[in-house]
Structure 1
Amino acid sequence: MLRPVVVGLDGSRESLAAADWAAGEALRRGLPLRLVHAWVGLSSDASQLPELEAPRYWARRILRGAMDQLSERHPQVYLSAEQIPRPAVDALAEAGADAELLVLGSRAFSGFGGYMAGSVALATVARATRPVVLVRADRTPEDEHLPTAAGLPSERTPYCDVVVGVDVSHPCEELLAFAFESAALRNAPLRVVHAWHVPFAPPAAVATMSAAAEQAAEHALADELRPWLEKFPNVQVRTLMENGRPAQQLLHAAQDAGLLVVGRRIRPARLGTHTGPVAHAAMHHVHCPVAIVPHE
């Protein structure tokens, strides 16, 4: 059975942009698209209360409107829609567990010069066991493509690079599988970013230790990428290695990307809901769609 692409809808501009991106991704992957709207007022125990009729009407309208819009723009995609009578985070986490990937809108917030993903998106990402993609409200399909020779936006030009952040000290097959597949589906170059650092050393030994650390990182990254280069021979791969903080290097590399892919380690429940510093920075500050891939 095919896993669908699932998108969470709440009627916001962010969620509608996410739905449009999700439809395009479902088409690229040859998968159905499932629209999900969560509303606690849908409880069967309260189904006859007249005061819930207006909220129920608007909930149905959100799904109908999205279905009409997506059917017109992406007629080839098989669509389904469902209202789930549960709190948003619970409903999205459950729907995402059976999905190929879950797509959510990500809210912009300009007050601090960055972006705020929104509490529902953040909480859902922290609980997800399948990849989650966050999409900004102002993203358009043209933004995934290179501009024309005249500098104009277009959906007919090649795709922008897919960027993935890799930590060679914690190899992750799920992360690279998602990144390589995403690049292959778009016929887009894959930019692999790895940040290495020099351990504390006396000033006289810094240059030697720096060269050794860089060489070790190069060898480790080459070893990790080798099987994926063999599996995806048509994906053009470029590696970027810098001495510095991983989050900072990744944010810089993703400025002109069409998609950024980062990993998130699944932690035991007793440790709380954490996303990790790199994924956290990407969710808050990267403008392109961000895919967060959970892994052990």
Structure 2
Amino acid sequence: MVRPVSVGFDGSAESLAAAAWAGREAVLRGTSLHIVHALEWRASNLQFSPGASAQREWAESRLDVAREELAVTRPELVVEVDRVSDPPVKALVDAARESEFLVLGSRGLGVLQGFLLGSVSLPVIARASRPVVVVHGPEEPSGPSGAGPVVVGLGHDGPYGPLLDFAFAAAAVRGADLHIVRAGDAGAAAEALPDRSGWPSVEVHEWLPAGPAAQHLVEAAGEACLLVVGRRGHRPGPAVRIGPVAHAVLHHARCPVAVVPHG
């Protein structure tokens, strides 16, 4: 089954950038784009806030802008819009379940807005059963040629299958190299690598640095078009945890970051 690429949309500039990035991804993967349009508004200063109807009209106008831009830049793309009244976390986790992956927008560099407010983004990333990609602001070419490598980080805990499958597929559809940054037991990480014969077009480079994994991943992602990291699935209890490495790169990497559940 070919799943759509989904994107969370709330009318912010960050969500417009996320929609543009998600649209390009959907075309690369030969699938449709599913826009999840949130109707629930964040709390704000009621004294200076417009009424709910005015807010909704503004968001609808921004949605029209996103759809018009996609129609111009990706005329072959099938776009579906789902207006949801559920709480944002539930709506986005539900959308991710039926998607190749979910895309969210962020200003990046530690300033999180829109869907990337901690009360929404972290629970979504921690609970989603499919990968979640965070796009930092307007699209900018990566690398000197505008198409940098895909970088994937392998930590101490496997299995790495879903993480590497996502990274290899992302590199293949872009015609990009794959840079594997390994931490922990090098032997265990090497055993976890998949049969590369399934991705003959992907050139692979491996790096086993010493020191903090998050710092090396952020450095490696400086010229990347996408950074892929994992998080352990099925964490017990109500606490929201995505792991320290994923948390750090989400705040500091400037390229889009994919967080893939595994294990």
The normalised TM-score by structure 2 is 0.88
Q: Secondary structure at the match of 1:255?
A: helix
Structure 1, residues 111-158: CA drift from partner, whole Å, max 9, x if none? xxx454532222321221101100011333xx14x435xxxxx5xxxx
Larger radius of gyration: 1
Q: Which residue does the alignment assign to 1:177? A: 165
Q: 1:75 to 1:268 in 2, by over 3 A?
A: same
Q: Which residue does the alignment assign to 1:97? A: 97
Q: 1:266 to 1:219 in 2, by over 3 A?
A: closer
Structure 1: gaps spanning 5 or more residues: 42-50, 149-153, 197-216
How many residues matched? 250
Say whether the 8 Å CA contact 2:159–2:262 is kept in structure 1: no
Distance across 2 between alignment mates of 1:67 and 1:244: 45
Say whether the 8 Å CA contact 1:279–1:292 is kept in structure 2: yes
Q: Which residue does the alignment assign to 2:231? A: 264
Structure 1, residues 56-99: CA drift from partner, whole Å, max 9, x if none? 32232232221111111111111111210112222111111111
Distance across 2 between alignment mates of 1:172 and 1:181: 14
1:166 aligns with 2:154: yes
Supply the RMSD in Å over aligned alpha carbons: 1.9
Give the letter for the 2:219 counterpart.
H
Q: Which residue does the alignment assign to 2:77? A: 77
Say whether the 8 Å CA contact 1:4–1:33 is kept in structure 2: yes
Once the two structures are superposed, the pairs formed by residues 190-209 of structure 1 within 5 Å of their partners are: 190-196=178-184
Give the letter for the 2:122 counterpart.
L
Q: Which residue does the alignment assign to 1:220? A: 188
Q: Secondary structure at the match of 2:179?
A: strand
- Residue 52 of structure 1 deviates from its aligned partner by 4.3
Q: 1:9 to 1:122 in 2, by over 3 A?
A: same
- Residue 168 of structure 1 deviates from its aligned partner by 5.2
Say whether the 8 Å CA contact 1:35–1:63 is kept in structure 2: no
Distance across 2 between alignment mates of 1:2 and 1:292: 20
Q: Secondary structure at the match of 2:163?
A: helix
Say whether the 8 Å CA contact 1:106–1:121 is kept in structure 2: no
Q: 2:204 aligns with which of 217, 225, 237?
A: 237
Give the letter for the 2:101 counterpart.
L
1:287 aligns with 2:254: yes
Q: Which residue does the alignment assign to 1:24? A: 24
Q: Which residue does the alignment assign to 1:45? A: none
Q: 1:188 aligns with which of 147, 163, 176?
A: 176
Give the letter for the 1:105 counterpart.
G
Structure 2: gaps spanning 5 or more residues: 42-50
> 237-246 vs 114-123, which deviates more?
114-123
Q: Which residue does the alignment assign to 2:124? A: 124
Structure 1, residues 215-250: CA drift from partner, whole Å, max 9, x if none? xx443333222x331221221000000122222221
Give the letter for the 1:88 counterpart.
P
1:277 aligns with 2:241: no
Q: 1:274 to 1:56 in 2, by over 3 A?
A: same
Distance across 2 between alignment mates of 1:249 and 1:7: 28
The normalised TM-score by structure 1 is 0.79
Question: Percentage identity across aligned positions?
Answer: 44
Give the letter for the 1:250 counterpart.
L
Give the letter for the 2:222 counterpart.
Q
Distance across 2 between alignment mates of 1:52 and 1:15: 20
Structure with greater proportional helix content: 1
